[in-house]
Amino acid sequence: MAPILSVRDLEKTYEGGFQALKSVSLDIQEGEVFALLGPNGAGKTTLISTICGLVRPTSGSIYVGGHDALKEYRAARQLIGLVPQEMPTAPFEIVGDTVALSRGLFGLRPDPARVESILKDLTLWEKRSNPIMALSGGMKRRLLVAKALAHEPKILFLDEPTAGVDVELRHDMWRIVGELKDRGVTIILTTHYIEEAEEMADRVGVINKGEIILVEEKAELMRKLGRKLLTLSLTEPISAIPGGLSGYQLTLENDGTCLTYTYDTHAERTGITSLLTDLSKEGVRFHDLQTDQSSLEDIFVGLVRQEQETS
């Protein structure tokens, strides 16, 4: 099946000479949820903005549903909805009117029933006659989603949809994305949260310094790179790791009060049982333990570091 979005050798150099995108190529399949990860300034927003027509590419091509995003910009943009990272809203505009405006911008005739159903889906119907400035931060974000959906796009871009929002709203956002995915909308989002990419994404791409350094099925990526950390708080500090434990990947921290063990969550044998047995054999006692899973962010920090070391 032809990808719904195809980016080929996309380059963007800003006027000041800063190269934000270096030969980016990316294919997005219809109906998938794609998570784009990268540190600040990696080019995530530039990539999204260029696809959406907010930034002019220096070279390369973008095809949306088979339409050239520059030459056939009307057909291409018709398929796209964008929820930007910052929450730009006109404070004095009325909620219902602003959704109707978004619909009109895409050349669609007014459809109050459609606007009503979108506002109800995003639990904003009660607020339809209020000015935007009367909305809470969470409502504003939902309103931006409502505006982006007003023209029934096939592809939805969510730039950091849950940056700085509370847990409830984050789950709300996940629910909305889930529903859209069920309806067949292709979703491309940028995020920093492991739960988010894990919960929603089918595929993950990592971008750093304007280059896509990895695109992988999420499950595959987690399997490849998922590490877990077991931290043991020792009852009594030890000066060195006992010789009988040399077979394990252990490090001693916090003046010998803390022992950490790294293991692969997806390996058949994690080695935890034998480690604990060997610990008691060596007479090392602990009063607490905790495990931490490496987040996608850790994974990608690892990747980025690897990049820097090899270059």
Partner 1 sequence: MNFEAVKSIYISEMARTRRTIMQSVISPVISTVLYFVVFGAAIGSRITEVDGVSYGAFIVPGLIMLSLMTQSLSNASFGIYFPRFTGTIFEVLSAPVSFFEITVAYVGAAATKSILVGLIILITANFFVDIEIQHPFWMAAFFILTAVTFALLGFIIGIWADNFEKLQFVPLLIVTPLAFLGGSFYSINMLPEIWQKVTLINPVVYLISGFRWSFYGQADVSLWLSLFATMLFLGGSLAIVHWIFKTGYRLKP
For residue 176, the one-letter residue type is I
77 touches partner 1 by CB under 8 A: yes
In angstroms, what is the C-alpha Rg of the chain? 24
What residue has token string 């260029």?
Answer: 50
x-marked contacts with partner 1 along 112-151 as a string, rule CB under 8 A: -----------------------------------x----
Among 37, 20, 85, residue whose Cα is nearest residue 10: 20
111 touches partner 1 by CB under 8 A: no
- H runs (alpha helix) in the chain: 44-52, 73-78, 95-105, 112-121, 137-149, 167-182, 194-200, 218-225, 272-281, 296-310
DSSP string, 36-99: EE--TTSSHHHHHHHHHTSS--SEEEEEETTEETTTTHHHHHHTEEEE-SS----TTSBHHHHH
Which residue stretch of 21-29, 96-104, 185-193, 289-297 sits at the interface with partner 1 (rule: CB under 8 A)? 96-104
Position among 45, 89, 162, 208 found at the interface with partner 1 (CB under 8 A): 89
Distance CA 29, CA 1 (A): 8
47 touches partner 1 by CB under 8 A: no
Position among 53, 138, 242, 271 found at the interface with partner 1 (CB under 8 A): 53
Of 19 and 231, CB closest to partner 1: 19
Number of residues that bind partner 1 (CB under 8 A): 36
Position among 7, 42, 100, 139 found at the interface with partner 1 (CB under 8 A): 100
The C-alpha torsion from 182 through 186 and 189 to 195, rounded to 10°, is: 30
Give the footprint of partner 1 on residues 239-268 (CB under 8 A).
Answer: none
Shortest reach from residue 304's CB to partner 1, in Å: 25
Of 101 and 301, CB closest to partner 1: 101
- Quote the DSSP letter at residue 133: G
Distance CA 21, CA 44 (A): 9
Q: What are phi and psi of 247, to 5 degrees?
A: -75, -10
104 touches partner 1 by CB under 8 A: yes
Which residue stretch of 37-45, 94-102, 181-189, 224-232 sits at the interface with partner 1 (rule: CB under 8 A)? 94-102
Position among 39, 60, 84, 256 found at the interface with partner 1 (CB under 8 A): 84
158 touches partner 1 by CB under 8 A: no
108 touches partner 1 by CB under 8 A: yes
Q: Which residues bind partner 1 (CB under 8 A)?
A: 14-15, 52-56, 73-75, 77-78, 80, 82, 84, 86, 88-94, 97-98, 100-109, 147
